[in-house]
A = this chain, B = another copy of it.
Amino acid sequence: MQIAVLLYDRFTTLDAVGPYELLARMPGAETVFVAKEAGPVRNDQGSLALVADRSLAEVPRPDVVLVPGGPDARVAMDDPEILDWLRTADATSTWTTSVCTGSLILASAGLLKDRRATTHWLAFDELRALGVEPTGERVVFDGKYVTAAGVSSGIDMALHLLGRIAGDETAQTIQLLTEYDPQPPYDAGSPEKAPAAIVAHWRGGKVPVREG
């Protein structure tokens, strides 16, 4: 089973690495990071580059496609070469997946038409503008299309996928080995739970810390 993780300029790192860390541990999985050209691709923060080992052309038929988001997802949404690769890969994929604003890229490629999907809570209007109504769930399955909410939700998505692909025991084993027993010291991880003032500040578009 080949898993291809798409990289493009200014992607959000944890969107890609969260699910990668879990999926890559699946017995029989071969994971490959791909980009328009093989080589380092710099992230949204500017302080880290991940190496794409293969170009898009070298990985035409992955079994699983994983598209991370980023605050500048338009880099990929406006790139015909990336959208063409997504459509081609999707034609034969078993699972086509995204994290955060990665779903805007899938929608731009025409792959989420009439599908249930989600994205980062700050990008709901952008997903709607592409003709897809965000469900607001953390992980959304619709056939072979799986979309996750913001950044860290990709880890939950990966556990769901592992269960579907490899069964509960493998998923539980990988949860145990990555000690995914979350104990955040705050309960502010969604707009329903975070302090209202912080949510209002962000809905107002004032940006002290980057969205990602």
Contact = CB atoms under 8 A, between A and B. Distances in A.
Interface size class of A (residues with CB under 8 A): 35 or more
B156 A177 contact: no
Contacts of A211: 177
Contact of A152 (B45, B173, B180): B180
A172 B198 contact: yes
- The number of times this chain is found in the oligomer is 2
15 contacts: A14-B17, A14-B21, A21-B152, A25-B210, A27-B208, A120-B179, A121-B179, A138-B183, A150-B178, A152-B179, A152-B181, A163-B186, A175-B188, A176-B188, A176-B198
Given A48-B51, A173-B194, A176-B198, 10 more contacts: A150-B177, A152-B181, A156-B184, A159-B185, A163-B186, A169-B195, A170-B209, A173-B202, A176-B188, A180-B184
Interface of A: 12-14, 17-18, 20-21, 24-27, 30-33, 40, 45, 47-51, 53, 100, 120-122, 138-139, 149-153, 155-156, 159-160, 163, 168-186, 188-191, 193-195, 198-199, 202, 208-212
